[in-house]
């Protein structure tokens, strides 16, 4: 016999079912003697008595082994096998209890049924439950491993940029939070004035974006304060609008700090009480002048250069 043959030799694996069968066999040897003694006392032939005892003991061993290997998912088969095993265990318990009762009285029946119940019912059922638990654990572990491997394959194949995904997820969550905060603020704020509610909502959004609102309240100039009189020309009105737009854009620059373009546009429109389209034109003008960069988020060009 060479070394390779010795290395290839493997000992048989001992399963829990084998141990249960071995223990049931030990109890069966005792059962055979008790059953044979019972029938001999009744005047039965000794050979026949020992044969009956051996048959009952072997039946209990086989049933215990089958019960330990039975798949608990098959409820009908499991409970049917359990019922048959219980009948044989009851019969063996009555016979052996009578033998033990000759010396122990009623305690003999209790001892007999405890021994039979443990060896022929409790142990096989415990092994069957343990095997079912192991099977479920393997399925769960296999499912978890499959999901992890699938995720790794997807990342390798699609070559995701995780940093970009995290930034995009952060933007989406910011939009969701702002939308919910705005809705809650509208529900909690009394609807006394449309303009007041608008300013409050804008202030809340600016706070979420870490933008300090303008320290001076914006007030529309009165007619007496306006540089244009009743006879103002179209050019004069255009100049005034241009000045307003320039002032608005200059003030918008102070609020720009890497916000999402859509959220920033809505917040500025609420703050200045103009349309979002006006703010979009302001952003385009600032971008044309090289003051800002708007590409998903809006930042000051000078800060980006620094």
pLDDT in tens, 197-214: 444 555 555 555 544 444
User: Which pairs from 106-112 meet CB under 8 Å and 24+ separation?
Assistant: 112/34
Do residues 257 and 266 make contact, with C-beta atoms less than 8 angstroms apart? no
pLDDT tier, 217 (very low <50, low <70, confident <90, very high otherwise): very low
How many domains does the chain divide into?
2
Q: Do 107 and 45 fall into the same domain? A: yes
Q: Do 99 and 127 fall into the same domain? A: yes
The per-residue b/e assignment along 36-75, b for 16 or more CB within 10 angstroms, e otherwise, is bbbbeeeeeeeeebbebbbebbebbbebbbbbbbbeeeee
Do residues 268 and 255 make contact, with C-beta atoms less than 8 angstroms apart? yes
Is pLDDT larger for residue 67 or for residue 280?
280
Do residues 193 and 212 make contact, with C-beta atoms less than 8 angstroms apart? no
Of 90, 114, 148, the residue that ends a domain is 148
For 295, residues 6+ apart whose C-beta sits below 8 A from its C-beta are: none
d(CA 261, CA 268) in angstroms, rounded, equals 10
Q: Do 53 and 105 fall into the same domain? A: yes
Q: Do 131 and 248 fall into the same domain? A: no
d(CA 94, CA 91) in angstroms, rounded, equals 5
For 232, residues 6+ apart whose C-beta sits below 8 A from its C-beta are: none
Global pTM reads 0.39
Q: Do 166 and 294 fall into the same domain? A: yes
In the chain, which ranges are E strands? 259-260, 292-295, 297-300
Asked whether residue 115 is domain-assigned, the answer is: yes
Which residue range is the domain that position 118 belongs to? 15-148
Q: Report the CATH number that the domain containing residue 254 is assigned in CATH.
A: 1.10.10.10
Is pLDDT larger for residue 134 or for residue 295?
295
Do residues 123 and 23 make contact, with C-beta atoms less than 8 angstroms apart? yes
For 257, residues 6+ apart whose C-beta sits below 8 A from its C-beta are: 209, 210, 211, 299, 300
Helices (H) and strands (E) in the chain, counts: 12, 3
For residue 129, the model assigns a pLDDT of 81
For residue 209, the model assigns a pLDDT of 54
Asked whether residue 135 is domain-assigned, the answer is: yes
With vertex at residue 213, the alpha carbon angle to CA 261 and CA 195, rounded to the nearest 5 degrees, is: 85
Asked whether residue 113 is domain-assigned, the answer is: yes
Is pLDDT larger for residue 136 or for residue 264?
264
Q: Do 196 and 125 fall into the same domain? A: no
Of 125, 148, 171, the residue that ends a domain is 148
How many angstroms separate the Cα of 144 from the Cα of each of 31, 147, 155, 280? 48, 5, 17, 48
| C-alpha closest to that of 108 among 96, 100, 116 | 100
Tokens linked to 252: 């918008």
Tokens linked to 54: 């051996």
Q: What's the chain's average pLDDT? A: 75
Q: Do 122 and 195 fall into the same domain? A: no
Do residues 128 and 68 make contact, with C-beta atoms less than 8 angstroms apart? yes
Asked whether residue 201 is domain-assigned, the answer is: yes
Do residues 49 and 39 make contact, with C-beta atoms less than 8 angstroms apart? yes
Asked whether residue 207 is domain-assigned, the answer is: yes
Q: Do 77 and 169 fall into the same domain? A: no
Asked whether residue 241 is domain-assigned, the answer is: yes
Give tens-digit pLDDT for 33-42.
888 888 888 8
Q: Do 187 and 66 fall into the same domain? A: no
Q: Do 283 and 169 fall into the same domain? A: yes
What is the separation, in whole angstroms, between the first and last Cα of the chain? 80
Asked whether residue 5 is domain-assigned, the answer is: no
Instruction: Count CA atoms closer than 13 A to 235's CA, side-chain side.
Output: 0
Local structure of 295: helix, strand or coil: strand
Asked whether residue 2 is domain-assigned, the answer is: no
Give tens-digit pLDDT for 234-293.
566 667 677 888 899 999 989 988 899 999 999 999 999 999 999 999 999 999 998 999
Of 85, 115, 148, the residue that ends a domain is 148
For residue 166, the model assigns a pLDDT of 74
d(CA 162, CA 58) in angstroms, rounded, equals 65
Local structure of 134: helix, strand or coil: helix
Q: Do 19 and 116 fall into the same domain? A: yes
Q: Do 255 and 294 fall into the same domain? A: yes
């Amino acid at each position: 016999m060479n070394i390779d043959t010795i290395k290839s030799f493997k000992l048989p694996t001992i399963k829990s079912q084998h141990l249960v069968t071995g223990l049931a066999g030990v109890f069966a040897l005792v059962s055979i003697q008790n059953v044979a003694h019972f029938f001999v006392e009744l005047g039965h032939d000794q050979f026949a008595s020992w044969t009956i005892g051996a048959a009952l003991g072997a039946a209990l061993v086989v049933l215990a082994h089958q019960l330990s290997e039975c798949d608990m998912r098959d409820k009908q088969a499991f409970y049917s096998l359990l019922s048959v095993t219980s009948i044989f265990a009851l019969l063996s318990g009555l016979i052996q209890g009578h033998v033990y009762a000759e010396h122990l009285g009623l305690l003999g029946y209790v001892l007999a049924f405890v021994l039979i119940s443990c060896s022929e019912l409790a142990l096989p059922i415990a092994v069957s439950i343990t095997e079912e638990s192991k099977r479920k654990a393997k399925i769960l572990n296999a499912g978890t491993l499959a999901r992890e491997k699938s995720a790794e394959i997807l990342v390798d194949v699609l070559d995701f940029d995780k940093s970009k995904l995290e930034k995009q997820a952060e933007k989406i969550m910011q939009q969701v939070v702002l939308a919910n905060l705005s809705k809650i603020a509208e529900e909690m704020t009394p609807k006394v004035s449309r303009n007041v509610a608008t300013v409050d909502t804008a202030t809340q959004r600016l706070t979420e974006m870490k933008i300090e609102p303008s320290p001076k309240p914006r007030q529309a100039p009165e007619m007496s304060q306006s540089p244009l009189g009743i006879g103002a020309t179209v050019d004069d009105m255009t100049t005034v609008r241009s000045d307003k737009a320039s002032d608005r854009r200059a003030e918008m620059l102070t609020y720009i700090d890497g916000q999402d373009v859509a959220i920033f546009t809505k917040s500025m429109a609420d703050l200045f009480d103009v349309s979002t389209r006006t703010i979009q034109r302001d952003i385009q003008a600032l971008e044309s002048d090289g003051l800002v960069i708007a590409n998903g988020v809006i930042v000051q060009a000078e800060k980006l250069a620094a």
